[in-house]
Amino acid sequence: MKKNEFRILVAEDDEMVRDVIVRFLSEEKYPVVVADNGLAAIKLLRLEDIKLVLADLRMPGADGMEVLRTALRIDPDIAVVLLTAYGTLDTALEAMKEGAYDYIVKPFVMQQLLLVVRNAFRMANLLEENRQLSACLKETYRALEAIKARGGCQHGALSRDSIDKIKKSREPDIIDAEDSAVLDRMTSGSTDENIKKYSSLINDLKTGE
Span 120-150, pLDDT tens digits: 999 999 888 887 777 777 776 776 677 667 6
pLDDT of residue 85: 84
pTM (predicted TM-score)? 0.67
Q: How confident is the model at residue 181 (pLDDT cuts 50, 70, 90)?
A: low
List the domain boundaries for the chain. 3-108, 131-208
CB-count burial class (<10 Å; 0-12, 13-18, 19+) for 49: exposed
Q: What is the mean pLDDT of the chain?
A: 79
Number of neighbouring beta carbons within 10 Å of residue 154: 11
pLDDT of residue 164: 59
8 conformational bin, left if phi > 0, alpha if psi -120 to 50, beta if neither: beta
pLDDT of residue 26: 96
Domain 3-108: what homologous superfamily? Response regulator (3.40.50.2300)
